[in-house]
Amino acid sequence: MSTDRKVVITGIGVITPVGKDLVSFWDSLKNGRSGIDRISSFDPACFDCQIAGEVKDFNATPFFNNPKDVRRTDRFTQFGMAAAKMAMADSGVDLTKVDLTRFGTVIGSGIGGLNTLCDQHSVLMNKGPNRVSPFMIPMMISNMASGLVSMEFGLAGPNFSTVSACATACHAVGEAWRMVQHGEADIFLCGGAEATVVPIGIAGFAAMKALSTRNDAPQRASRPFDKDRDGFVMGEGAGVLVIEELEHAKRRGARIYCELSGYGLSSDAYHMTSPLPEGEGAARCMRMALEKSGINPNEVDYVNAHGTSTGLGDICETKAIKAVFGDHAKNGLLVSSTKSMTGHLLGAAGSVELAACVMAIRDGVIAPTINLDEPDPECDLDYVPKVAREHKVRVAVNNSFGFGGHNATLVAKAFEG
């Protein structure tokens, strides 16, 4: 099968700390509004890190055909279902008029049902094994968002979950892109979902000294590329997109946001949690994505950086961008990290940030990196500090890099035709 089939994005659904739909999400990003605050879902007083980007006042019930499924699903699956429902509605696809055996689902999660695991472990310890829920395993496992979404819509095409830490959602979208390109499916729901703002999640990342402890100023805590950054801020939510083969989209009269034109992936093969010091693995990943896209580095207008607000990560990504883009990195290329507002959504980050790239292409506006008061001397690119910038975006690059040395990059470009 030919691999020159073009792939386009036709639907977007997001659940995030800065907005529970695409309109509010994008409005918050454009206006530099942070969704980070003191944790409200449990008392964080005894934790070193007491802040996170939570999805507040979330009601999953409207997003499930069977209300019982809400009680039988972990929060990450609920987020994934909600984002998928919104993406489907946004795409306008009529399921009675498409081949459901060629409609796939790839929705990943970096950690899966952590809250369920903790709750049921407590039940086991306090009440005994006979009181553990029969739904514990399907609630906990990372593939369940993808599985239940496919069941909800009757999507009988390829269906699986990616699990690659913070690169999860980019890998999910990229593998769906690859399958459409190769003719193994015509249309996909793809992305990531995560819900790890729970006591053991915060405790575990804090024990690694990975999280910010700027508890007295939550909205200023996530500060990618700033010299005073002190770690990332946990976020939660989901991003799911509808991607499909171009002619398939045209036949049904779909509104096309943009083309999804390239995907790269690589491994650092270096360290469990630290990137290669010169960003070589990330650079290879970006080069592969641009090559697959047929895009010259000088044609890229915007990079939505992984930009987590960690000491090593921000410097290594800056070095990787310089290695790939050369002089263009400092002469025309704009870079920003929307994690400065959303926090780090881990396995959902890549698809949520791809949504930000798509909207930048649509509206000619690049969301800022807030809290960038004094850049780290080793982070010397144009990170669109503090306020959004109007700028025509024809090509956007989206980076996601995860613990375990996983690197993934997606390229989106303005649709012509």
Q: Which of 171, 248, 344, 406 is catalytic?
A: 344
- Where is 307: in which H helix or E strand? none
CB neighbours of residue 295 within 10 Å: 18
| C-alpha dist (Å) from residue 316 to 283, 287, 350 | 10, 16, 18
d(C-alpha 172, C-alpha 178), whole Å? 10
CB 170 within 8 Å of CB 400: yes
Query: Which residues are within 8 A (CB) of 369 and not within 5 positions of it... i.e. 6 or more apart?
Result: 224, 225, 307, 335, 336, 337, 340, 383, 384, 385, 386
Helix (H, G, I), strand (E, B) or coil at 263: strand
Q: Which of 171, 248, 306, 406 is catalytic?
A: 306
Look up 344 and say whether it is catalytic.
yes
Query: Which residues are within 8 A (CB) of 373 and not within 5 positions of it... i.e. 6 or more apart?
Result: 223, 226, 228
Look up 406 and say whether it is catalytic.
no
Structural tokens at position 136 = 């514990």
CB 194 within 8 Å of CB 238: yes
259 bridge partner residues: 8, 413
Nearest to 229 by CA among 123, 344, 125, 136: 344
Cross-sheet strand order for the sheet of 159-160: 159-160, 103-108, 187-194, 237-245, 7-15, 258-267, 406-413, 395-402, 302-304, 334-336
Nearest to 308 by CA among 267, 349, 344, 354: 344
Q: Which of 49, 166, 357, 379 is catalytic?
A: 166
d(C-alpha 155, C-alpha 314), whole Å? 39
| C-alpha dist (Å) from residue 308 to 100, 127, 217, 221 | 38, 40, 17, 11
**Any idea which residues carry the catalytic annotation?**
166, 306, 344
